[in-house]
Amino acid sequence: MTFFAYCQTKENKFNFDFEQIENGFPVDWIISGGSNYSISLDSTNVKKGKYSILIDFNEGKKDFKALGFAIPNYNGKKVTLTGFIKTENVTEGNAGLWMMIEPSIIGDNMYGRGVQGTTDWKKYEITLDMNPSETEQIVIGGQLAGNGKMWLDDFTVTIDGNNVKDLKPLVKKVFPAEIDKEFDSGSQITNLSIDGYKIENLKTLGLVWGFLKYYHPNIANGDFNWDYELFRVIPKVINVKNNKERDSVLVEWITQLGQFEQAIEIKSDSMEIKMKPDLDWISNSNFSNELSSLLLKVKNSNRSGEHFYVRLFPVVGFPVFKNENPYPTMKYPDVGFRILALYRYWNIIQYYFPYKYLIGEDWKKVLQEFIPKIINATNETEYTLTILELITRINDSHASIWGGNQVLNNYKGLNYSVVDLSFIENKAVVNYFNDDTLGKETGLQIGDVISKINDQSVESIVKKNLKYTPASNYPTKLREIAIRTLLLTNDTIINIEYIRDNQKRTKIIKTNSSNKVKIWKKHFDNLADTCFKLINPKIAYINNSTLKTSFMPKIWELIKNTDGIIIDCRFSPHYAPLDSLSSYLYPKKTPYAKFTKGNIKTPGLFTFNYIDSTGKENKEYYKGKVIILVNEQTQSSSEYHAMAYQKAPNSIVIGSTTAAADGNVSTEFYLPGEIMTAITGIGVYYPNGGETQRIGIVPDIEVKPTIEGIKNGRDELIEKAIEVINKH
């Protein structure tokens, strides 16, 4: 992922027509995304002028490729990007415009409405709401995801209908933290040898550094590059001979941050607290009186609610982590930057993860455990795996290393089998082929049980990879291992042992690059399926993944007199049909979820924010059975939809425990080496406060697929739903 930064360009500062060229590429446009695509000028296929931009998928792993241009901030209410797109054979993804108001305030990449297939030049448009007081820059561009080619040309950006070329941008404030460049080329910390006492001191430093980052008003004001202040203090802390010296170093360090006002304590009983800040360590760590008093003074300081490194997304309240330098050139960061990565992540969880109390272990002990691990990581792969292991410890299905990290791709394998596996009856079972022709060539059949891969038992592979598989619960870990680990390799073949008809057999199966294997074929096949059908005159089926709100009036006429509706929530919804469908299911407006959000003034505090309701006054609401299907694929938005439908009269949830990550995701944030990750950003609970994180949507009737059912092509959840409806 490339970070874009605005800069003043030539006399015509907006190269929206791609006509200003230097070194064979349009001036001030920046490339990001996967390496298996090419971006070039095209003088043959143009909409206007001499040149357009061509983005072309070559071969290998299908990802995305984007072109971006950063413009400054303006006063206004709405910003609109228009541009022309032409496509050729775009499949397994789409082509589209994209626009982001940074720092990650809001964005749009035409998801769900992008261009597919082969199309001639056509004008497209994106509009976003502006918030000038929170904006640093606006980034516009185009991107291709999946196969094919796309051309871009003739962009225009307007603010409230006025062309930006005719407007005067707002002047961006420069913070002292942005001027400090001392350690841009390295932390200058080398050959760090550690023992038990030094590890304990580095743990203390991690606690204090993160606490000051989020609690000290002068750091919140952007007066200090807090990453680089860490590098200035580490050598002092690591070389102390006793706790008295350590505390003295920390007192001097904190004192140098300057004076601040104390807060006038105002108690409020209006907020229902879910989680309090974990700050008892300030008083119970046997610090000197001077250090403890100074830290408590910081704790009780007057904080404005504005912060250089974090803010809360309006209304919803998930955290937006900003001004966190990804240090993209440091693929294997030096030891100082590796410690920074640990401290940055650990303290984000400490103060802005709504489910820290559900981690299942003392988070402070995890900090101490990972200090030697991160210091002793000897290469880029070990460093990345250590970060992945740390992420796994928070037990969150939204948390992993995202963005197609090349180190992880190389470690797990770049070649794929066409065989899609699922864990059924605790066994790795063939349930799908991502290419029908190549699937037949393997000689495997649906329902075959894979017992060994390259002479390693599946059980041992699972055990080895659990610590590198972030998820909220064990079934979701197995889901991820089946998809993202078992049959990946850097070789062209895989030796497998499998069981069919109670007999063990062996086979060599070929692997292919992602260019030849449609890795997400099952997902796209599901999207291609109809969103509605009548199983019989009295039972209706709705695919919540593909249901559009505009379809509901016609669907209602077909289902209102049926005995039961089966709502399939096993895939992620693409069109957010919750309120539209619920309006037919509920007799009145009904609460179904409530939320917590964090706090900028009191980091680590989570309070209940608001209750969400759905439905409306409706005497003609649906009177039949409402069956909701869920399993480990039901995650995040689909869990949230299932929560809502679950509150409908006569509802029954059938299936197995869901992925248990029910809530908005934070904006992505970065660790040194451009490692991108995210977390569940707000807490989601039932109206009575019941948990969903790590628990999921618990079915009323548990039904799991069987190997025999898979062999026979049966959907046993739907079969059970039909049985339940017929009995009632």
Domain membership of residue 245 (yes or no) is yes
- pLDDT reported for residue 270: 61
Summary mean pLDDT of the chain:
91
109 with 160, same domain? yes
SS3 500: strand
For residue 436, tell me if it sits in a domain.
Answer: yes
What's residue 550's pLDDT? 86
361-370: long-range pairs with CB below 8 Å, 24+: 361/393, 363/278, 364/203, 364/207, 364/278, 364/281, 366/390, 366/393, 367/203, 367/206, 367/207, 367/342, 368/199, 368/200, 368/203, 370/342, 370/346
Q: Are residues 358 and 441 in the same domain?
A: no
Distance in angstroms (rounded) separating the CA atoms of residues 157 and 488: 43
Q: Is residue 616 exposed (0-12), middle (13-18) or buried (19+ Cβ within 10 Å)?
A: middle
One domain, residues 394 and 457: no
Using the structure block, give the residue that is written with the tokens 């001036």: 27
Could you tell me the CA-to-CA distances from 685 to 85, 348, 429, 573, 692 in Å, in that order? Answer: 43, 22, 34, 20, 6
Q: What is the 3-state secondary structure (H, E, C) of 311-378?
A: EECCCCCCEEECCCCCCCCCCCCCHHHHHHHHHHHHHHHHHHCCCHHHCCCCHHHHHHHHHHHHHCCC
With 0-12 / 13-18 / 19 or more C-beta atoms within 10 angstroms meaning exposed / middle / buried, residue 554 is exposed
pLDDT of residue 313: 80
Asked if residue 299 belongs to a domain, the reply is: yes
| Confidence (pTM) | 0.85
CB 540 within 8 A of CB 534: yes
- Could you tell me if 216 and 277 lie in one domain? yes
For residue 172, which amino acid is it?
A: K
Phi, psi angle pair for 205, to nearest 5°: -65, -40
Q: Does one domain contain both 383 and 451?
A: no
Residue 101 lies in a domain: yes
Query: Model confidence over 677-687: pLDDT tens digits?
Result: 999 999 999 99
The answer to whether residue 222 scores a pLDDT higher than 70 is yes
* Residue 347, pLDDT above cutoff 50: yes
pLDDT given at position 22: 84
How far is it, in rounded angstroms, from Cα 414 to Cα 284? Answer: 49
The closest of 285, 269, 189 to 228, measured between CA atoms, is: 189
Lowest-confidence pick of 9-18, 298-307, 577-586:
9-18
Q: Is the bond leading into 103 cis (omega within 30 degrees of zero)? A: yes
Q: Which whole number is the average pLDDT over 291-316?
A: 92
Q: For the chain, percent helix, then strand, then coil, each to nearest 5?
A: 30, 30, 45
Domain of 270 in residue numbering reads as 179-407
**Is residue 672 a contact partner of residue 340, using CB atoms and an 8 Å limit?**
yes
pLDDT digits (tens, 9 = 90+) for 28-61: 898 877 777 889 999 999 999 999 999 999 876 6
In which band, very low, low, confident or very high, does the pLDDT at 10 lie, cut at 50, 70 and 90? Answer: very low
> What is the model's pLDDT at position 265?
64
Q: Are residues 291 and 397 in the same domain?
A: yes
Q: Is the same domain home to 261 and 310?
A: yes
Is residue 5 predicted with pLDDT exceeding 50?
no
**Of 468, 493, 512, which marks where a domain is finished?**
512
Residue bearing tokens 């290998």: 60
Query: Around 394, how many Cα atoms within 13 Å sit in the side-chain half-sphere?
Result: 27
The two tokens of residue 72 are 């400054």
Q: pLDDT tens across 145-196, in order? A: 888 999 999 999 999 999 999 999 988 788 999 999 999 999 999 888 999 9
On whether residue 723 sits in a domain, the answer given is no
Longest dimension (CA), the chain: 81
Higher pLDDT, 111 or 540: 540
310 and 353 in a single domain? The answer is: yes
137 and 245 fall within a common domain: no
| CATH code where residue 67 lies | 2.60.120.260
Same domain, 375 and 331: yes
pLDDT in tens, 234-266: 999 999 999 999 999 999 999 999 999 998 765
| C-alpha span between 95 and 144 (Å, rounded) | 4
Residue 12: the pLDDT is 43
Residue 277 clears pLDDT 80, i.e. is over it:
yes
pLDDT band at 574 (very low <50, low <70, confident <90, very high): confident
Q: Rg of the Cα trace of the chain?
A: 27
Per-range mean pLDDT, top range of 67-71, 139-143, 270-274, 294-298 = 294-298
Write down the residue that tokens 């969880």 correspond to.
349
State the average pLDDT over residues 623-644: 96
DSSP 8-class letter at 691? B
Residue type, 364: K
Last residue of a domain, one of 467, 485, 512: 512
Mean pLDDT of 112-131: 92
Asked whether residue 524 is assigned to any structural domain, the reply reads no
Decide the pairing of beta strands 539-543 and 564-568: parallel
Residues 139 and 111 in one domain: yes
Q: Residue 120: inside a domain, yes or no? A: yes
Token pair of 113 as six digits: 């409405």
The token pair that represents 56 in the structure block? 């072309």
Cβ atoms of 579 and 614 closer than 8 Å = yes
Mean pLDDT (whole number) for 329-333 = 92
The 10 Å Cβ neighbour count of residue 325 is 19
487 and 468, same domain (yes or no)? yes
680 in a domain, yes or no? no
- Rounded to an integer, what distance in angstroms lies between the CA atom of residue 186 and that of residue 228? 10
pLDDT of residue 529: 58
% of residues, the chain, pLDDT over 70: 94
Last residue in a domain, options 512, 543, 570:
512
- List pLDDT tens digits, range 506-546: 999 999 887 677 666 665 555 555 799 999 999 999 999 98
The reported pLDDT for the residue numbered 189 is: 95
Average pLDDT over residues 119-136: 90
**Is residue 4 predicted with pLDDT exceeding 50?**
no
Residue 1, pLDDT score: 36
Count of domains for the chain? 3
CATH of residue 472's domain is: 2.30.42.10
| b/e burial code for range 327-351 (CB count within 10 A of at least 16 → b) | beebbbbbbbbbbbbbbbbbbbbbb
Structure confidence at residue 452 as a pLDDT band (50, 70, 90): very high
In sequence order, the 6+-apart residues with CB closer than 8 A to the CB of 709 are 715, 716
pLDDT above 50 for 664: yes
